Amino acid sequence: MISFTVRMKFKPEDRAEIQEALRGVTEASRKEPGCVSYIPHTVESEPDIVVIYEQYRDAAALDAHRASAHFKKYVVGGLYQRMLERSAENLNAVA
């Protein structure tokens, strides 16, 4: 199992466009056979920061996600074009 979070910061004026891209990529990603979980959040005290919790069955499933048309459309062509900052953290299950 591969689990990680991605944290991105955006400009307030891009909020509507970011929400639209998140809806599109979330809906499509959750239909991928290897996607276990795909949950975007905004930070309560900073609504222009998005944290996405992602979990995939294995490396092949993650590779398939990153190669998908919806990833290229909504993430590469949308979120990545608008983000000001980005960081990711790989997670290890403890229980």
Cβ–Cβ under 8 Å, residues 82 and 18:
yes
pLDDT at position 89 is 98
pLDDT in tens, 74-92: 999 999 999 999 999 999 9
Domains (ranges, CATH) in the chain?
2-90 (3.30.70.100)
Q: Which two three-digit tokens encode residue 22?
A: 């998140």
Cα 47 from Cα 30, distance rounded (Å): 23
pLDDT at position 64 is 98
pLDDT at position 20 is 97
pLDDT in tens, 1-59: 999 999 999 999 999 999 999 999 999 999 999 999 999 999 999 999 999 999 999 99
Cβ–Cβ under 8 Å, residues 24 and 70:
yes
